[in-house]
Amino acid sequence: MTKEVSATSTEQNKPAGTDEPPAVPKLPHGLFAETVRQAPIAIAITDNKANIAYINKAFTDITGYTSKESIGCNQSMLSHKQTPRKVYDELWSNLEQQIPWRGLLLNRHRDGFPYLAELTIAPILNLEGETTHFIGMHRDITEVYRLQQQVVDQKLLIETVVDSMPVATILMDETGRIVLDNQAYKKFHSDLGLREPLTIFLEILQEDMGDEWGQLKNQGLGFRNREVRYDRGGKHGPRWFSCSGTWFSQGDGSVDTFFKQNAHSYLLLTLDDITQQKKNEAEIRFNALKALMAEEEKIQSLKETLLGAMHHIQGPINLLSAAKTMMERRGAERQNPALLDILDQVLAAGEESLDRLKQCIPEVEDVAMSMVNINQILHECIVLLTQRMLSAGIVIDWKPTPILPMVMGLENRLRAMFKQIIENAIDAMNQSGVDKRELRISTWPDGELVHVCIEDTGPGIPESLNFKVFEPFFSTKSGGGRRHSGMGLTMAQEVINQHMGLIRFDPSYHYGCRVHIQLQTHAQHHTGQRPYAYG
Ligand code: FAD
């Protein structure tokens, strides 16, 4: 039969209303001792010098020492002697101040092998407040530590591998926070002159991929080798990156996900700098482009010559035609049939010549519109004209907006137009008397429009001629080492009209000439509306 006893005899007749804790309910005799004996954690009770007075079963299981072998021995028998001295000093310093100590010690099993002990030691005080005993509780955490180390080592290994990868790698959580990045990505900060390059890349990719971005994200899929062009402008050439991304879900390891799955989505993005490869491709492309443009210029020049000739023939024909009409209006008696006949023959010959010339004008082949990157074709024009600008001592200030929406257009025609306008600027500055020679080209988006501004420091165009310069065969230039047919801006206007855009000279600009061009982005292009005039 179990005898009911209270925990302490002093608590039995405690007066009501005192601060004393409530009396412990009566427990079966020996329950405390049995609880300690069976507790699944190694427990040792020592005197105040750490000499062992009692051990439980788990102590034997963990250390290998039986009661017989350990009682009377000092706890130091468990020391592996690798634990640094200062750990023991701290342990004893705590205990001397009657403060429990918690920490990790390297212990030696009875059989000689080491194990890692997670230990709590607390002083046990008598009624006078003196430490009479210590209770030590420990568990073997060798396996937990090994697994933890494995995770840490694996993380370190992954970080080292990711860090040494030549491709910029970023792991981003769903809030846009960078969870992991590598050295190659960190280098972008200085190379691209951006505080957080990821923001720009995400913006460009999302703009480029449109709805597809959201669809891939929702399905936990990814994209591969999307090319992104980043043009910082100035003396920095454009940079190209091949971007790949993968979305995946992962628990975040917080305790609230212990029983309930709460996955978060991440984006792993790699940005491979393919600028050199692109430069090589561009060189090949430029050579082809040069040949193509030379051919197109030849055709354009032939077209201008023929139109010029027609223009010159048309003048006298108009005069003769007017003369004939006047003669015909006169009375029959005053008419000179022979002269009229000659006039008819001359007019017919003239019209026939005009017709022949018209038939000789080369046809422009119909090509379909495609997505055009205005920054890219302006950059191509600059490269094509670099030699001319260098020999004319012209400094170029190229300021593109790095993210420019695509324009739906005829790439070759737009390139020829921009080249024409830049050549006009070069010619204007190449005239004698122009000391400051600066060409500024900038681009920027504005809602559904793309703006291009080309400024030079030449003599400029008088305000009265701002519209006239677009007329065929009108030219303000004579020098500059080039033949001026007065058809360049007419062609530019024609190309702009084809693209439902706007071109104008800024009358408020007085430091040279400023051409302002507006083109519609591919999104606006489908509406078929003309852009509003800027400024
Ligand atoms: P020291 O640290 O100098 O210890 C030698 C012995 O001197 C001590 O064991 C103790 O008997 C005595 N001593 C030293 N300083 C004081 C002091 N300020 N007050 C009273 N006595 C002192 N160590 C382990 O390595 N593994 C364990 O699992 C472990 N469990 C312990 C459990 C309890 C309850 C206590 C009280 C101590 C325990 N220790 C344990 C500490 C252990 O007593 C030793 O301090 C430690 O092992 C280092 O031993 P040492 O021979 O290198 O030298």
Euclidean distance between CA atoms 384 and 386, whole angstroms: 6
Average pLDDT over residues 363-369: 74
Best of 92, 118, 125, 139 to mutate for ligand 1, by most ligand atoms within 8 A of CB?
92
Greatest C-alpha distance within the chain: 160
CA of 14 to the centre of ligand 1 (A): 39
Which of 23-32, 43-52, 370-379 shows the lowest mean pLDDT across its residues?
Answer: 23-32
Cα gap 79→227, rounded to integer Å: 62
Atom of ligand 1 nearest to the CA of 46: 34
User: What band does 462 get if pLDDT is binned at 50, 70 and 90?
Assistant: confident
> Which of 169 and 469 is assigned the larger pLDDT?
169
pLDDT band (50, 70, 90) for residue 306: confident
Read off the pLDDT band of 13 (50, 70, 90): very low
Which of 49, 76, 88, 116 has the most ligand 1 atoms within 8 A of CB, as the residue to mutate? 76
Strands 395-399, 438-446: pairing is parallel
Instruction: Say yes or no: do domains 31-145 and 165-252+262-273 share a fold.
Output: yes
What are the boundaries of each domain within the chain? 31-145, 165-252+262-273, 280-363, 368-535
Name the residue at shortest CA distance from atom 9 of ligand 1. Answer: 76
DSSP characters for 82-142? Answer: -S-HHHHHHHHHHHHTT--EEEEEEEE-TTS-EEEEEEEEEEEE-TTS-EEEEEEEEEE-H
Domain 165-252+262-273 - what CATH class?
alpha beta
Query: What fold is seen in the domain 31-145?
Result: Beta-Lactamase (3.30.450)
Residue among 45, 75, 89, 110 whose CB has most ligand 1 atoms within 8 A, to mutate = 75
Whole-number Å distance, alpha carbon 143 to ligand 1 midpoint, is 25
Instruction: Give distance in angstroms: CA of 146 to centre of ligand 1.
Output: 26
Mean pLDDT, residues 171-196 taken together:
86
CATH superfamily to which 368-535 belongs: Histidine kinase-like ATPase, C-terminal domain (3.30.565.10)
- The mean per-residue pLDDT over the stretch 470-477 comes to 70
What strands, in cross-sheet order, belong to the sheet with 114-125?
A: 52-55, 42-47, 131-140, 114-125, 101-108
User: Which of 56, 189, 244 lies closest to 135 in space, CA to CA?
Assistant: 56
Of 367 and 518, the one with more pLDDT: 518
For residue 78, how far is its CA from the centre of ligand 1 (angstroms)? 9
Which pLDDT value is given to residue 1? Answer: 36
Whole-number pLDDT of residue 533: 41
For the CA of 134, the nearest atom of ligand 1: 34
**Closest C-alpha to ligand 1, atom 20:** 49
Q: Between 21 and 186, whose confidence is greater?
A: 186
Using the structure block, give the residue that is written with the tokens 């007019």. Answer: 347
Any idea which residue has 């509780």 for tokens? 137
pLDDT of 3 over the 90 cut: no
Sign of the dihedral through C-alpha 454, 458, 463, 465: negative
CA of 180 to the centre of ligand 1 (A): 44
pLDDT digit string, tens, across residues 483-499: 556 677 888 898 999 89
Q: pLDDT at residue 481 above 90? A: no
**Residues contacting ligand 1 via CB (< 6 Å):** 44, 46, 49-50, 74-76, 78-79, 83, 88, 92, 96, 105, 107, 117, 119, 121, 134, 136, 138
pLDDT digits (tens, 9 = 90+) for 52-62: 999 999 999 99
Q: What is the mean pLDDT of the chain?
A: 85
Q: Which residue would you say has higher pLDDT here, 273 or 487? A: 273
